[in-house]
A and B are shown apart, each in its own frame.
Chain A
Amino acid sequence: MTHADKHPGRARGLKPSDFIATAVLLGITIAIPFIAYEQSRGALPDGNLAGTFSFYTAFLVTVGVFALLTLALNIQWGYAGVINFGVLAFFMLGAYVTAVITKGDPQGDFTDYIGGWGDDLNLIPALATNQWLPFVVATAAAAIAAGLLAFLVAFPTLRLREDYLAIATIGIAEVMRRVVIEERWMVNGSRGLTGVPQPLGNIVDQSDYKYLNVVIIGIVVILIFFALERAVRSPWGRVLLGLRDDEEATAASGKNVFAFKTQSFVLGAAIMGVGGSMYAYAFSALSPDAFTHLFATFIFWAMLMVGGSGNNKGAIAGAYVVWGLWTLSLQMQGYELGDLVQSRMPYLRGLLLGVAIVGVLLIRPLGLLPQERRVSAWVERRVKKERSAPAPPAEP
């Protein structure tokens, strides 16, 4: 089955389902703070407005990190049709590279890891470079490391057919997990790494850091979003879409299939590395237990499918919606539920999320924000100009 089968053209005219994206986004934006506020009234009679705000900000920080990973997956699967079931590997690599670069030397008997160069990067103390330079270096290193891993992986795997590539990428993810857990000298094994420094961490109170963090991550998401939009809405992106729809026809149109697939795979992986880096800063602690296949790979697939494969705005919306639904299901546990429900809540949560995803996809099979009709920004501009221009004189 080619990817194109899943992309029938959109019918003209607005249907009720066209408003569902707005409705879902709005619903989550209202429901999460509302329930958080509602529940805080149990402790404080007037409710805790500041706590609600803090809760929502922390939610946005996580969404921002996940949006980066979903955008990255979109470049690989959404545009080029390259299956990657090993997002975990690049995500985890980015996070750990960031941690070992920004942290100081290992201390204590039960801590062992390579790197620990954070203090060495404090090159110009007068400018307080230790507050930003190591972080820029570490994020760049995370992107490069993940990109490099992708480049090495690309050679043996990218020539494989779709289904084999899927299996190969799962294997790579599992290898990464095992290496982190078993090789304790490397990144402290299953004990994990704590106390990852946070960029500009000294200018605000630790408890208020999320407000600064949401701005930093927001800027990173916006920068990467625009870089990706520019890349895909060009002839480069057109070749990727061609690959997704029909690899052989694209090869018959004179395109070097392997080269373009590698580019999309490496670029996507580098952004996954950046996502891992932001994750390390946001949570300041890393444990291999957190990088499960579900929460470090397949949740991004769910986000991309719900948001809209082949649309960068959709990728961000999908991260917001799916993490929003997950958060809502967590909030539900705060209510007095019957024992029958309460004891089964972890499973019901998964079920509810699954039902919600299937529901969205039944109404919007292409995701909340489907792929846009025209790929190249130049074509878009040409056609728009033509539409707005007065009708051309009849040809002689």
Chain B
Amino acid sequence: MSSDQRLPILTVENVSKAFGGLQAVDRADLEVAEGSITGLIGPNGAGKTTLFNLVSGFIKPDSGRITFQGERIDGLPPHQVFRRGLVRTFQIPRELGGMTVVENLMLVPGEQAGESLWNAWFMPWRVSDQEDANFTKAEDVLRFLNLHHLRDEYALNLSGGQKKLLELGRTLMCDPKMIMLVEPAAGVNRTLMRDIVNDIKRLRVERGITFFVIEHDMDIVALLCDRLIVMAEGTKLAEGSPDEVRADERVLDAYLGGRGR
């Protein structure tokens, strides 16, 4: 199936962001098609991570607009972007080390009654059923990721790869519409990565989740993505299927540092 005909779920229009004198993202224009697995690649310093931070609300753009499912999300704080079904992971796993694996996941679902002090004190029955449901859901996600045997372990004690999986698991706790993954393959062994690739593809088919992935490992990218966006020097350089992108002279130049020189 081709993702070209589908509507964009995420649109980035003319977005810029500078850190002091460094123009990290420079009038970037790009779209992510609904239901696609879109890869975002580019040399170091191309602005990929900054773009993700802009989209997920961690930093505000200097100019431009970001639209998710037809609504503007630029300038919203991260928790409100999350509530619209757009969730992300981090480059370095950000596990909550002092909590067990299962509670790392149970933290995520929104609108938990027990997150209000009033309910926690005076309406425990409102909390009780939700906690049970949450726990069951978290266990399902853990089984899905082959992490169930670590359920009651402190997240701090997981290996690097397991922490990556936990990050992915966190995004699955809230029925997202779109997941942004940052280097899901880094630190994960090949066999496990193949499983994750299959899981991601399955999630796309079964739950219709769109994926937007930063990844440096071109083998994984070719295996996973049906569309690639190449960024260089803060803006979109090229776009197309993995094969098209690989054949693109400009992309090679950008990676080898030959562009404009």
What is the interface of chain A, defined by CB distance below 8 A to chain B?
2-5, 7-9, 227, 230-231, 234-239, 241-242, 244-246, 248-257, 263, 267, 310, 371, 373-376, 378-379, 382-383
Contacts and interface: CB of A to CB of B under 8 A. Distances in A.
Given A4-B156, A235-B127, A378 B132 contact: yes
Contacts of A250: 96, 107
B35 to A, nearest CB: 23
Given A234-B120, A383-B152, A375 B108 contact: no
The 9 closest A-B pairs by CB, nearest first: A4-B97, A235-B114, A254-B82, A249-B94, A378-B131, A9-B154, A234-B120, A245-B96, A7-B98
B79 A4 contact: no
B98 A4 contact: yes
A246 B82 CA distance: 16
Given A236-B116, A238-B103, 13 more contacts: A231-B117, A234-B119, A235-B112, A235-B131, A238-B107, A239-B107, A242-B99, A250-B107, A252-B58, A254-B82, A374-B103, A382-B132, A382-B135
B99 A241 contact: yes
Interface string B79-123: 100110001111000111111101100111010111111011100
Contact of B103 (A3, A231, A236, A379): A379
A236 B98 CA distance: 16
A227 B117 CA distance: 10
B186 interface: no
Contacts of A8: 154, 156-157
B34 to A, nearest CB: 21
B170 interface: yes
Contacts of A237: 120
B79 A255 contact: yes
Interface residues on B, range: 35 or more
A180 B170 CA distance: 49
Contact of A379 (B102, B153, B156): B102
23 contacts: A4-B95, A7-B97, A9-B153, A9-B156, A235-B112, A235-B115, A237-B120, A238-B103, A238-B106, A241-B96, A241-B98, A246-B97, A250-B96, A252-B89, A254-B108, A254-B110, A255-B107, A267-B117, A376-B103, A376-B131, A378-B128, A378-B132, A379-B106
Contacts of A5: 97
A249 B96 contact: yes
A5 B156 CA distance: 8
A242 B95 CA distance: 9
Nearest to A10: B154
Interface of B: 56, 58, 77-79, 82-83, 87-90, 94-100, 102-103, 106-108, 110, 112-117, 119-121, 124, 127-128, 130-132, 135, 152-154, 156-157, 170, 174
Contacts of B77: 251, 256
A235 B112 CA distance: 7
Nearest to B139: A382
A159 to B, nearest CB: 11
Contacts of B115: 235-236, 239, 255
Nearest to B130: A235
Contacts of B108: 253-254
B237 to A, nearest CB: 28
Contact of A230 (B82, B103, B120): B120
Interface of A is mostly: helix
Given A238-B99, A239-B115, A379-B103, A252 B78 contact: yes
Contact of A257 (B79, B90, B132): B79
Nearest to B89: A252
A231 B119 CA distance: 9
A379 B106 CA distance: 10
Nearest to B58: A248
A230 B119 CA distance: 10
A375 B79 contact: no
A373 B154 contact: yes
A87 B135 CA distance: 37
A246 B94 contact: yes
Contacts of A227: 121
B154 to A, nearest CB: 4
A248 B59 CA distance: 12
Contacts of A2: 97
Contact of B127 (A234, A242, A246, A267): A234
A83 B5 CA distance: 52
A8 B96 CA distance: 11
A382 B96 CA distance: 21
A385 to B, nearest CB: 11
Contacts of A230: 120-121, 124
B117 A263 contact: yes
A252 B135 contact: no
A230 B107 CA distance: 17
A378 B127 contact: yes
A5 B102 CA distance: 19
A4 B92 CA distance: 15
Given A9-B154, A378-B135, A379-B103, A251 B79 contact: yes
Contacts of B83: 254
B48 to A, nearest CB: 17
A322 to B, nearest CB: 23
A278 to B, nearest CB: 21
B156 A242 contact: no
Contacts of A374: 100, 103, 152
Contacts of B90: 248-249, 252
